[in-house]
Structure 1
Amino acid sequence: MDARTGPPAPPGRIAVRLSDLGELAAALPHLLGFRPAESVVLVGLVGPGARRLGMTARADIPPVEAGRAMARLLAAKVVTGRPAGVVAVVVSEAGDAEVGDAEDGDAEQGLPHRGLMGHLCAALAEHAVPVRDVLLVRGGRWWSYDCPERCCAPGVGTALPDGVTELEVAAVAAGVVVEPDRATLAARVAPPEGLDRSAMAAVCAQVALECAERILDGGWDTVTGESWAAVLEALARCRPGAVVRLTDREVARVVWGLRDRSVRDLALQLALGEDAPAAEQLWTECTRRAPVPLDAAAATLLAVSAWVRGDGATAGIALDRALAGEPGYALARLLSEALDACLSPDELRRLIRSAAAAGR
């Protein structure tokens, strides 16, 4: 199979060739942002001949009785990317299962989770999406459930490609970091160890008073302009190569500025430009250090930055953080619903551009 992670154009996207199913199996951590464990993953294939990688959807392996329902939910998500085909992968350390009739002596060892993969194939068939292959990844090896050859027999399998792959090189160049698991990914936006919450809260309170005084003295528009200038100054400090950490005051000024919807909406557009990596770094820093509920806007912007580059896992974690801090935050709720419906990164980009054009 020959596939790509995206069309060979827009900056920031990774465009590489994956020459076979083994490379696709080995690429899952880079497609998800973390190393999946006991997971089901659907990889959409798009474009002429289904030769490019499209949307990737993942779920935990469910209990046997919930397999059919989970398969339908996961299939419904991946088909929103309009795939021409799908590769279904189960990542599990489960041992081989007994298949056949044990009472008649016809039982033999078979690959685990075959019933679950059957549910996935049936769910995708309901959407008229062909399944190109069904894989098991276990213990550094991979199997095809449909392969009759000895290499796919239980207990055999094929070793995952070793060495540095083209996708790994491209991912590093794009700043993608693969975490060991989803919990570690979530820790990226958790408050840093040693954070003095009371000191940060005190600085935020002081900045709030200063902003209120500036509104009384100079008017709302003046403070809006100052808030946007504060965002841009902090953004410059987060560009690649910068080594100076943002001060508590700088973080406080940014998060208070983002409470102004017009400033936040301007900040949304940063996810689409040359400063997108710096913006994502800025929103990450503000999300980690800002007190509740001032973290909601920054966490929502972090979700947007992650989603437009195709990182749905980080986007979901960031939106969870935003809604935990401020359950009624409207933009976070709207984006969470869109993410659940698998709004594509391209569609989100179009929405941001349309909103920006309407606001001019």
Structure 2
Amino acid sequence: MDEPQPPTRPPSAVPPVIRLGDSGEVAAALPHLLGFHPAESLVLVSLRGPGGSRIGLTARADLPDPADAAALARALAARMDTDDPAAVLLAVVSEAPDDVAVPVVPAHVEGSGAGAELPHRDLVHEVVLALDAIDVPVREALLVRAGRWWDYDCPYPCCEPGGGTPLPGGASPLAAAAVAGGTVLARDREALAARIAPPTEVTGVTAMAEACLRAGREHAGRLRAAGRPAVAEECDAAIAGAVSACRPGPATAGTRLPDAQVARVLWALTLPEVRDRALGLALDDDAAAAEVLWTECTRRAPVPLDGPPATLLAVSAWLRGDGAMANVALDRALAADPGAELPRLLADGLQACLPPAELRALITSTLATG
């Protein structure tokens, strides 16, 4: 499945400028654009601005079966088109060996040995055709393999199947921009999902479940006794207190939120008006602390209480340009409640490549009219 990534940068920051001749730096920075190290993947990077010098949308897909290559190419081209790119950079990340061609003359004739081609050239051709159909040129088509990179269109020995150029070491400008935007690099997508996976330690899971049961009874009792508006205010205060406890600093370093506090936040987020107001935390100075809270709540919450914090985590990651984590979090939210409206709408928006700036404006508008 293709995974669109919003432009990898803080929403208020200037997009990184790349040197188009520096293909190695772009190839080395692909994991930072995605948030994890891709494997056996097709990656498209939108190049925007004058001359296509700015990184825009990044989309990744698992390498398809040959029969599915054309359909995948068209789907990814449609994703790219939403970003209005001046050009696209294409990268195949694969450890596949070179394709060996059948000799066209008898093998005993001198110089007639089987030739070799870089792998997945047919897939590259399908993507080029799909992008050409929407008038988007492919600036470069790269193969990234075993710590080296090749250009599919390069005629020189450095890009012959047995050649390749080592990926540059050190932090590239794109990698630095991704890190500055808050993207934490994962080993692979599974490692990214593991950051919010439920704990496996039975004692801790049981204690958290019991805390949620107690908090749930208290929440229901308060709703009966005080009414929904008063409880919603109490819930807002509970979330504010938990966010404060997650702010970085000496007072919070190494501390773990108590199960009871996490449980109160989880039940607070079951009120849609409270959850919607919590969206605004991603827009202010407490955005980082709020994301820490949503991550912790998603990881520790029993189903289906994990749905709302996972939704908020997805929004927070999306606004940072971390589409990989946004996808993972939305998968978790929809697994908790497949019929939930907000995560479904957000998933549709992410698939449609809604830029972070537009999501930010939408949340601002929603909060103003709420």
> If the TM-score is normalised by the length of the shorter chain, which range does it land in?
over 0.9
| Cα separation, partners in 2 of 1:101 and 1:68, compared to 1, 3 Å | farther
1:9 CA drift (Å): 8.3
| Cα separation, partners in 2 of 1:231 and 1:357, compared to 1, 3 Å | same
1:176 CA drift (Å): 2.1
The 8 Å contact of residues 142 and 159 in structure 1, kept in 2 or not, is answered as yes
DSSP 3-state at the match of 1:124: helix
DSSP 3-state at the match of 1:81: coil
Return the alpha-carbon distance in structure 2 between the equivalents of residues 129 and 106 of structure 1: 38
| Aligned equivalent of 2:218 | 210
| Cα separation, partners in 2 of 1:22 and 1:125, compared to 1, 3 Å | same
The 8 Å contact of residues 47 and 87 in structure 2, kept in 1 or not, is answered as yes
What TM-score, normalized by structure 2, do the two folds share? Answer: 0.90
| Aligned equivalent of 2:138 | 131
DSSP 3-state at the match of 2:197: coil
RMSD of aligned residue pairs (Cα, Å) = 2.0
The 8 Å contact of residues 7 and 355 in structure 2, kept in 1 or not, is answered as no
Matches within 5 A, 1:1-360: 10-11=11-12, 13=13, 15-19=15-19, 20-99=22-101, 102=104, 105=112, 107-194=114-201, 196-241=204-249, 242-243=252-253, 244-359=255-370
- Paired AA for residue 92 in structure 2: V
Return the alpha-carbon distance in structure 1 between the equivalents of residues 161 and 328 of structure 2: 36
Of the two structures, which has the highest relative contact order with CA contacts closer than 8 Å and spacing of 6 or more?
Answer: 2
Return the alpha-carbon distance in structure 2 between the equivalents of residues 27 and 240 of structure 1: 28
What TM-score, normalized by structure 1, do the two folds share? Answer: 0.93
Return the alpha-carbon distance in structure 1 between the equivalents of residues 32 and 24 of structure 2: 14
The 8 Å contact of residues 71 and 123 in structure 1, kept in 2 or not, is answered as yes
DSSP 3-state at the match of 2:82: helix
Aligned length: 354
The 8 Å contact of residues 6 and 52 in structure 1, kept in 2 or not, is answered as no
- Paired AA for residue 347 in structure 1: E
Residue segments in structure 1 that go unaligned for 5+ positions in a row:
none
Identity %: 54
The 8 Å contact of residues 142 and 158 in structure 1, kept in 2 or not, is answered as yes
- Paired AA for residue 283 in structure 1: W
Residue segments in structure 2 that go unaligned for 5+ positions in a row:
1-5, 107-111
| Cα separation, partners in 2 of 1:15 and 1:264, compared to 1, 3 Å | same
DSSP 3-state at the match of 1:57: strand
Return the alpha-carbon distance in structure 2 between the equivalents of residues 225 and 181 of structure 1: 40
- Paired AA for residue 313 in structure 1: A
252-261 or 75-84, which moves further after superposition? Answer: 75-84
1:101 CA drift (Å): 5.6
The Cα offsets for residues 168-204 of structure 1, whole Å up to 9 and x where unpaired, read as: 4444444321111111011011012425222212211
- Paired AA for residue 204 in structure 1: C
1:106 CA drift (Å): 7.9
1:110 CA drift (Å): 1.5
1:99 CA drift (Å): 4.2
The 8 Å contact of residues 47 and 85 in structure 2, kept in 1 or not, is answered as yes
